[in-house]
Amino acid sequence: MKREIFDRLCQEGVVPFNALPHIEQIAKRWGISYDELSAACSQEIQALVIHAHGWVRSNTPQMVDRYVAGEPLLELACWAQCPPCLFARRLLENTPGIDSRQKSTKVLRNPGLLEGSPELEATPEETAALHHIVTRLRADIIEAAKVDTMYSPQSDIVRHVHGIEYEAFLCEKLRNASVPFFSEDALREQGFFKTPDIKLQIPILLCGRVVNWIDSKATFGSRRSHMLQREAQFLKYVNRFGPGAVIYWFGFVEDLADTDADILLLERFPPTDKFVQLHRLPLVTS
């Protein structure tokens, strides 16, 4: 995706509290796939959420008071430019008897716990203080999960499953192409730490470049997200294993392709006529 198109699409498509329901119409108008555009906007939403994190935390007590006074959760989330489920988590972490990340995660996954489950470990006084908003908060959390495509428990599951599916797809493609490799699990069993998804047993020449490893990303590669992962992951793989490749299955911003000579960026697994398996040279003895 060209950078100028990416920038314009983000300006049109990113609404942090509820971005994706109108993405389908935008994708059709621009002739871009829904998956690619939604993944791209998701990257920008995450960046906005990280940027606003401190402000949201510092203003949470005020927002809790406004919610208790009757303001709707979704309207407050919109005002705070915060995804609904993330905003609901802030409310829960400031609710008597819940006030911890672990307990709020349980409630987000199962709002029925607000009805007074002993798992919340609330005192009788805390339960009484909570009672007048329990029914409303429970309904609002259920509604937040329906509209929040970024931070709901369901979206967490979807991202996790997508990651597993695309890794399995990559392994299947390599096996079908008769390319021997070590999986991430196999590398960890050998004592490696911080490993790519795939380490090729024998390097391949891919698009004219030597590739020793491949990492699968079931996301879109924006400049911000790629540069963060480049420092945290990819350069470490280069230092340890040599040049490699990253597959962004939902596309990436075009000008990132020339960022690193040792990190080849791809949007799909290449056809077999695009790569050549390299063979170990025989040892030469004198």
pLDDT in tens, 46-100: 777 777 778 888 888 888 888 888 888 888 888 887 888 888 888 888 766 565 6
Mean pLDDT (whole number) for 211-215? 95
Strand-pairing partners, residue 215, are 246
Q: List phi, psi (to 5°) of 150.
A: -115, -45
Residues 6+ apart with CB under 8 A from 257: 265
Q: To the nearest whole number, what is the mean pLDDT of the chain?
A: 79
Could you read off the pLDDT of 134-183 as tens digits, one per residue? 778 888 888 888 888 778 888 888 888 988 999 999 999 999 888 899 98
How much is the pLDDT for 60?
83
Domains (range + CATH), the chain: 3-151 (no CATH), 161-277 (3.40.1350)
Q: Is the pLDDT at 283 greater than 60, yes or no? A: no
Q: Answer left, alpha or beta for residue 270, where phi above 0 means left and psi between -120 and 50 means alpha.
A: beta
263/34: higher pLDDT: 263
CA distances from 64 to 23, 36, 70, 93, 211 (A): 31, 36, 10, 10, 52
- Place 264 in a pLDDT band, splitting at 50, 70 and 90: very high
CA-CA-CA-CA torsion for 165, 214, 219, 152, nearest 10 degrees? 50
Q: Is the pLDDT at 247 greater than 50, yes or no? A: yes
Helices assigned H by DSSP within 177-210:
184-189
Q: Is the pLDDT at 31 greater than 80, yes or no? A: no
Question: What's the pTM?
Answer: 0.75
CA distances from 9 to 14, 34, 39 (A): 8, 12, 12
**Is residue 84 within 8 Å of residue 77, measured between CB atoms?**
yes
Q: List phi, psi (to 5°) of 221.
A: -100, 90
How much is the pLDDT for 125?
58
